[in-house]
Chain A
Amino acid sequence: MSRDCANTPARDFRTPLKRARGAGSAGDGTGHFMAQRATAAVSFILLVFLAVVFVLLAGADYEQARRIVGEPLVASGLVFTAAAFTWHMKLGMQVIIEDYVHHELLKYALLTANILFCAAIFFLALISVGRVTFGL
């Protein structure tokens, strides 16, 4: 109780409930929750697409694989998949870090590394698919 008061400005008329509301372990609201569900639903649909592409690529050699991946529909779908997956996994790994890492500095270092890793995966996928589809 004493710690609570120490952190509260002198003229704060908000009740403890008002201050706690929407502030989970991340100190954040429902935006993360909603984005995780939305990217999950989109990812599920894209997984069907990915499974089809996987089957098509299973027997393909280099030239065939480049032709399949270079199709505008497939290339767009792959970039879309990369976007949905990397966004979803950024959100998911963030929750895991916030759940288990309680050392503040380490936590923020890992949260930053998480964003960088997911961004890197997305950019690698984007550039690779782009290079194949634009034939560079």
Chain B
Amino acid sequence: MSGNASHGRRRPLSPHLQIYRPNLTMAMSILHRITGAVLYFATFVGVWWLMGLASGPKYFAYVDAMFRSWPGLIILFAVSYQLFHHAFGGIRHLVWDAGRGFSVRSAERMGLISLVLAIVTTLLVWTLGAWT
């Protein structure tokens, strides 16, 4: 509204990002959005593999070789971690939506737990995948 300017003095602003000391819940919040955006484009990777499988043995061999190459495996590993990070992080949001877990202690603890679960689950899935 134009009223503020006509007073001719600077009104106090609410503190923005650079004011706060970085903490876990802050990092988890921004990572939730970043992983979400990355996963958005990463869906094409999964669909590309399905397209390869549908296209026949010759094209599948090419796609499969890309997936099993070192850069392919690293990308796949990174995507899978982000998927679990976003999924477990999302559970926190569902808890908050239910009106629970708003204390600083709960929020911090849920952030830490979701982080640990994401790392453990990713390693578990890849271990099982390598084993079979």
* Contact A132 B53, beta carbon cutoff 8 Å: yes
- Given known pairs A2-B2, A85-B43, A96-B33, the reply for A47 and B83 (CB within 8 Å) is yes
* Contact B94 A40, beta carbon cutoff 8 Å: yes
B binding-site residues for A, Cβ under 8 Å: 1-3, 33, 36-37, 39-40, 43-44, 46-47, 50-51, 53-54, 57, 60-61, 64, 80, 83-84, 87, 90-91, 93-94, 97, 121, 125, 128-130, 132
> A54 at interface (Cβ–Cβ under 8 A)?
yes
> A110 at interface (Cβ–Cβ under 8 A)?
no
- Given known pairs A59-B132, A62-B64, A128-B54, the reply for A44 and B47 (CB within 8 Å) is no
* Chain A residues, Cβ within 8 Å of B33: 96
Instruction: Return the chain A residue nearest B97 by Cβ.
Output: A37
* Chain A residues, Cβ within 8 Å of B36: 89, 92-93, 96
Q: Count how many pairs of residues, one from A and one from B, have CB atoms less than 8 Å apart in the complex.
A: 82
CB distance from B78 to the nearest CB of A (A): 14
> A26 at interface (Cβ–Cβ under 8 A)?
no
Instruction: Return the chain A residue nearest B41 by Cβ.
Output: A117
* Contact A44 B64, beta carbon cutoff 8 Å: no
* Contact A55 B128, beta carbon cutoff 8 Å: yes
Instruction: Return the chain B residue nearest A43 by Cβ.
Output: B87
A-B contact pairs, 7 of them (CB 8 A): A44-B87, A51-B125, A58-B129, A89-B39, A124-B47, A124-B50, A125-B47
